């Protein structure tokens, strides 16, 4: 359940708040915990499944480009980004802008609903 909450947190944080060092620090702490507990791949799978329900293929491609700005897709990505938060911090704002620009509001709502359904189902 914590994985799903983090996914909602990351998506909502990046798309609806001012991003910055504290946001990236929190994301890194959670992702490093998932790596340590062996839940990292499960987190990514859940995100991808919910995105399939919410976004058409064009939006999914756009959002992949957003994730590529600050890659956190593999354990090596997490280690690289999180070991140098100062350098990675400015990219969080670019990710936020990209997500907002490329995500239709109605699709964001579908994504949120499917994430919350997953949370309820898994709990």
Share of residues in the chain with pLDDT > 70 (%): 69
Q: Helix, strand, or coil here: 102?
A: helix
Full-model pTM: 0.68
Separation CA 43–CA 51 (nearest Å): 12
pLDDT of residue 53: 77
pLDDT in tens, 17-55: 455 567 888 888 888 998 999 988 888 888 788 778 777
User: Angle of helix 21-37 relative to helix 40-54, nearest 10 degrees?
Assistant: 120
**Mean pLDDT, the chain, integer:** 76
Q: Under a CB-based contact definition with an 8 Å cutoff, are residues 70 and 102 in contact?
A: no
Which run of H or E residues covers position 122?
helix 105-122
Residue 16 clears pLDDT 50, i.e. is over it: no
Within 10 A of 41 (CB to CB), how many other CB atoms are there? 12
Name the residue ranges covered by the structural domains of the chain: 2-122
């Amino acid at each position: 359940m914590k994985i799903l909450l983090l996914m909602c947190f990351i998506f909502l944080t990046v798309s609806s708040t001012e991003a910055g060092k504290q946001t990236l620090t929190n994301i890194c702490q959670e992702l490093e915990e998932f790596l340590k507990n062996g839940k990292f791949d499960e987190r990514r799978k859940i995100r991808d499944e919910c995105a399939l329900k919410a976004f058409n293929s064009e939006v999914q491609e756009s959002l992949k480009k957003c994730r590529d700005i600050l890659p956190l897709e593999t354990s090596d990505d997490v280690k690289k980004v999180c070991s140098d938060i100062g350098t990675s911090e400015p990219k969080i704002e670019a990710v936020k802008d990209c997500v907002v620009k490329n995500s239709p509001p109605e699709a964001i709502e579908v994504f949120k609903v499917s994430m919350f359904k997953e949370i309820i189902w898994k709990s």
